[in-house]
Amino acid sequence: MSIGKSIGKGMALFAIVFAGAYGAMVWFNQTKGTEKPLIVYKSDPGANLAVQNAGSLPDFRSAVQKILPSVVSIDTLVQGENWFGEQVIEPTGSGSGVVLSQNGYIVTNNHVVTNGGRRVADRIIVKFKDGTSEEATIVGRDPRSDLAVLKVNRNDLTPVTVGDSAKLEVGEWTIAAGNPLGFEHTISVGVVSSIGRPLQSSDSAIFVDGIQTDAALNPGNSGGPLFNLLGEVVGVTNMKITFGEGLGFAIPSEIVKYFLDHRDAYAYSNDNPSNAYRYLEPPGRIKHKSATE
């Protein structure tokens, strides 16, 4: 069921904002055919509740200082021709992402690296908190859940810690981080407005159990984290209702974890960009043994 149907005909969902990802003690197993976790969960709902109830208003500074070094900005470019037939590289969009591992793995939205699902970017530039930039490659993506994993050539990054979205409660404080409208490393604060929302974006990405938040989300936040007061990532924000206020949504960390744990199923190759998946051999190519063998 799409969110458009649930709130009335004519309501347009515009996928613009995603934040977040995983990584408390993160690793990436590069051996093909294995399914070892990319991240390890860390969640302490009791400690989070204690922080929530510590005073009349919480202090967000500790959580923000913990998460911001792991938040990146992402710019995408495609190759094309101008009016004179000359080959040019043109920018197509921007978004956010979050560092999963020290050795260069980053999670973001699929719609960030595909210009809203229309075309995979020819070049992806990732900018870090320290001002440095690196070119990234796509190593996995899933259009249906609107998630993608990137790789940069770095071994000194700060990974995030991942919380458990299943422990979230309505009314709990949440913080969104990203690069809205080009304003890098911006945060916004809100609460969990609802949980378990079934969502569908304009580029056919579908996920269930979406997190609804009133934290401010704008174009450019896509792919960045939604995190709790302990600095644990609990979701990746990816969309908002464009003509409403305080109606933003995030992919739960449980879904992101599933995508990362089964990343081999979503492996992406730049040598074959039209195929984002590894399929089993087609039936016609399978050699069956004869009855005499």
For 222-266, the pLDDT digits (tens) are: 999 999 999 999 999 888 888 888 899 999 999 999 999 888 888
- Active-site residue, 130 included: no
The one catalytic residue in 111, 142, 165, 185 is 111
Q: Does 7 have pLDDT greater than 50?
A: no
- Active-site residue, 146 included: yes
Nearest to 111 by CA among 96, 128, 90: 96
Residue 52 corresponds to which tokens in the numbers above?
């929530």
Instruction: Report the chain's mean pLDDT, rounded to a whole number.
Output: 79
Buried b (16+ CB within 10 A) or exposed e, 15-44: bbbbbbbbbbebbbeeeeeeeeebbebbbe
The one catalytic residue in 96, 193, 222, 253 is 222
Measure the CA–CA gap between 227 and 231, rounded to whole angstroms.
Answer: 6
What CATH number is given to the structural domain containing 106? 2.40.10.120
β-pair partners for 149: 107, 140
Query: What one-letter code names the amino acid at 109?
Result: N
Question: Within a domain: residue 283?
Answer: no
The one catalytic residue in 146, 165, 193, 253 is 146
Split into its structural domains, the chain has a count of 1
Question: Within a domain: residue 104?
Answer: yes
- Active-site residue, 2 included: no
Question: Within a domain: residue 142?
Answer: yes
pLDDT (0 to 100) of residue 3? 39
User: Residues, the chain, total?
Assistant: 293
Helix (H, G, I), strand (E, B) or coil at 195: strand
pLDDT (0 to 100) of residue 102? 93
Question: Within a domain: residue 67?
Answer: yes
CB 73 within 8 A of CB 129: no
Q: Does 18 have pLDDT greater than 50?
A: no
From residue 55, give the alpha-carbon distance in Å to each of 50, 167, 189, 228.
9, 21, 17, 16
Measure the CA–CA gap between 136 and 124, rounded to whole angstroms.
Answer: 5
Question: Within a domain: residue 179?
Answer: yes
Question: Within a domain: residue 77?
Answer: yes
Residues spanned by the domain of 253? 3-266
CA atoms within 13 A on the CB side of 53: 5
Question: Within a domain: residue 177?
Answer: yes
pLDDT in tens, 167-212: 999 999 999 999 999 999 999 999 999 998 887 766 566 666 899 9
In the chain, how long is the greatest CA-to-CA distance? 80
pLDDT (0 to 100) of residue 288? 40
pLDDT in tens, 56-107: 678 999 999 999 999 999 999 998 888 888 888 889 899 999 999 999 999 9
Residue 26 corresponds to which tokens in the numbers above?
């993160």
Which residues lie below 8 Å from residue 218, measured CB to CB, with a gap of 6+? 16, 17, 180, 181, 240
Band the pLDDT of 275: cuts 50, 70, 90. low
Question: Within a domain: residue 195?
Answer: yes
pLDDT in tens, 114-152: 987 788 999 999 999 999 999 999 999 998 889 999 999
Query: What one-letter code names the amino acid at 67?
Result: I
Percent of residues in the chain assigned helix, strand, coil, to nearest 5: 15, 35, 50
